[in-house]
Amino acid sequence: MKKKKNSGIRVLIVGIVLVCMIIGYYYYLSNKKSDTSKETQPETTVVQDILLYNFERNYPPSPKEVVKLFGEFATCIHNEDYTEEEFIALATKVQELYDEDLIANQTKEQYIESLRWDVNQLKEQDIVISSYATSASTDVDFFEHNGYECARLYCSFTLRRGTSIEMANEIFVLRKDKEGHWKILGWALAEDEE
């Protein structure tokens, strides 16, 4: 009788071990599949990341953040490689940061050609935008003009050609639109402005 009892316990233990092995193997296979699915996802380029930016859900909340995002666009469009379609898409996308009066100054074709000329000028001189920095939030000058809330702030772009570095300090003027979004009304070299 003891022998039968020991035999039943052994069968039970072997059964539990087998069930644990099956569950462990299933867990291993299910995690392995999820890891391989992560590896097969293609990585996006900097250009694609910027083109995927959703202004409707995530519009920059302050003048400083608008200019920072403009700096991202400028760095991308001047430094990255892209197709003609991506260039036009980038040019169109950055206009979502522009005030309607700034956009109205040129036709879309004039704007695209002007931007292309600007990009080509820097590329011909082997100049890249290595970084940019905006004014501190406390240095943003808020004022009212013609019944609109406006803001003025600086952004410094670091331009690099080989080992040579120079700074381009720009002053940006932004205006708050009807939806409460800060839009770029214009910008110029700070030395020209002063």
Are 188 and 144 within one domain? Answer: yes
Q: How many domains does the chain have?
A: 2
Amino acid at 158: T
pLDDT tens digit sequence for 45-93: 888 889 999 999 999 999 999 999 999 999 999 999 999 999 999 999 9
Lowest mean per-residue pLDDT among 97-106, 114-123, 131-140:
131-140
d(CA 173, CA 146): 14
The span from the CA of 112 to the CA of 106, in Å, is 9
Same structural domain for residues 34 and 52?
no
Please indicate, yes or no, whether residues 32 and 71 belong to a single structural domain of this protein.
no
Distance CA 51, CA 12 (A): 61
| Residue 82 neighbours by CB distance under 10 Å | 18
- The reported pTM is 0.75
Range of the domain at 55: 46-193
Same domain, 120 and 181: yes
The sign of the dihedral angle between the CA atoms of 130, 136, 137, 140 is negative
